[in-house]
Amino acid sequence: MRIALLSALLLTATAAHAQESIVVNGSFEEPQVGAAYNIYPTITGWRTVSGPGVEVQSNSVGWSAVAGIQMVELDSTAPSSIAQALTTRSGGVYELSVSFSPRPTVADNRIGVYWNGQQVAVLDASGVGSSNANWQRFTYRVTATGTTTELSFADLSGADALGGLIDDVKVIPAEELWLDSQSAAPVSSKRVLEKGKTYRITMQGTYTVWGGNINAGTRSLPPEAAPMFPSPKGATRNVGADAEFIFAWSKDHVLEKNPAPAPLRNTIIQVSLDGGKTWKHPATPDAFSAKEHKYTYELMGDGKALQVRINDKPLSDNFGRLQIFLLPGGA
C-alpha cells in the first residue's frame, strides 16, 4: 500500500514537472523587499541590462501583485530593462506568458517583451482612474534558436519614475509529439489536459496516403516531392496532404469530380480528449499554408492526456510524419 502511494506521488511530481516554468524568480518574490519597494541592480534570476535598476514592489506599495506579494516596475528612477538567460533546446517551442498592469493613475505604461533580443510585444494600458492594479495575462508562442535564450523586459515609457508593472513571468516548454502516418497506434501526451482549460496544439508536416506517386489532376495543386518529415521507413513518394488539407491528388482520383478545387479540408487526422472514447478532427480557422504546412488548433481539456491518430486504411503505404506541439495554455 505504501509503495503504491509513493508511486502515485512520484507520478504526480513528474506530471507537475512537465509543466514547470524555466524562468527563475518569475514572480519576483525574491528578495523579500520588506518595504513598499526597493531598487536593485540584480535580483535572483534577473540582471539589469540598462537603466538604474529593477524596482521590486510589495503589496504594501498600495496595489497588489497578481502572484505572491511582490511585482516589478521597470521605470524605477528611470526606464530600465532586465534580462534572464534561459537554458533552452534549439528548435524547441515554448509558451511565454506574463501578467501586466498599468500603474494606477499613470497613463504611459509601455513595456517591451523580448525573446533573444527580438521584440515579441509591447504591453500598454492606461492606469488613469484606477486605484488598484488591473492585471491582464499575455501569452506568446516562441521558438528557441539556441541552447541559451535571453528573455528580457524593457520599460519604454517616458522617464518619470512611473511605469507599467509585470509579475508571474513564465516560460513553459511545449510537449513535442510525432505522429507517423504509417502507425495505427495513437500518440499520447504525457501532460494531462485539465478539464475545462483551453490548450493549443500545432500540427506541421506532410504525408501521403496513396499507394503510388501522385500524377496531379486538373483540380489538384502540385504534389511535393517528399514528406516534410520522413517516416522512419523513409520517403519514396511524393505527398499531397497535411494535417488540415488534401492539396494534391491524381488525375484518376474521385476528387477530380468534386466541384471544389484543391486544397480541400481533410479530417483524416483526429484527436481524442477523453482517453480514446471519442475521436474527431479539430477545427482551425487557419488557411492553407503551402510553405509551412502548419496549423494551430484550440482544444478544451477533459481531464485526460491528448491523443492523436491518423484514421486511414491501409497504413502500410503511407509516408510522412506530423510534428505536434502541445502548448500549456490558451491564447
x-marked contacts with Ca ion along 88-117 as a string, rule CB under 5 A? ------------------------------
Q: How far is the CB of 118 from Ca ion (least distance, A)?
A: 23
Alpha-carbon torsion angle 60, 64, 66, 71, nearest 10: -50
Provide the mask over 68-87, with x wherever binding to Ca ion is found by CB under 5 A and - wherever it is not.
x-x----x------------
67 binds Ca ion per the rule CB under 5 A: yes
Span interacting with Ca ion, options 17-25, 151-159, 272-280, 286-294, rule CB under 5 A = 151-159
How many Cβ atoms are within 10 Å of 35's Cβ, its own excluded? 11
Minimum distance from residue 53 beta carbon to Ca ion (Å): 15
Cis omega (within 30 of 0) for bond into 261: no
Cβ at position 114, least distance to Ca ion in Å:
18
Work out the widest C-alpha separation in the chain, in whole angstroms.
77
Choose the binding region for Ca ion from 44-52, 118-126, 167-175, 176-184 (rule: CB under 5 A): 167-175
Q: Is 157 in the site for Ca ion (CB under 5 A)?
A: yes
Residue count of the chain: 331
Residue nearest to Ca ion (CB): 157
**CA distances from residue 259 to 46, 65, 90, 219, 287 in whole angstroms, order as listed:** 59, 58, 44, 9, 19
| Residues between 24 and 63 that touch Ca ion (CB under 5 A) | 27-28
Q: How many residues bind Ca ion (CB under 5 A)?
A: 13
For Ca ion, which stretch binds (CB under 5 A), given 67-75, 83-91, 247-255, 266-274? Answer: 67-75
Question: CA-to-CA distance for 95 and 98, rounded, in angstroms?
Answer: 10
Task: Give the residue, chosen from 15, 35, 160, 283, that forms a contact with Ca ion under the rule CB under 5 A.
Answer: 160
65 binds Ca ion (CB under 5 A): yes
Q: What DSSP line would sit under 100-142, residue for residue?
A: EEPPTT-S---EEEEETTEEEEEE----TT-SS---EEEEEEE
Chain position carrying cell 469530380 = 257
| Separation between Cα atoms, residue 56 and residue 72, nearest integer Å | 5
Measured from the CB atom, is 68 or 112 closer to Ca ion? 68
- Chain-centroid distance of CA 212 in Å reads 37
Residues engaged in binding Ca ion (CB under 5 A)? 27-28, 65, 67-68, 70, 75, 157-158, 160, 162-163, 167
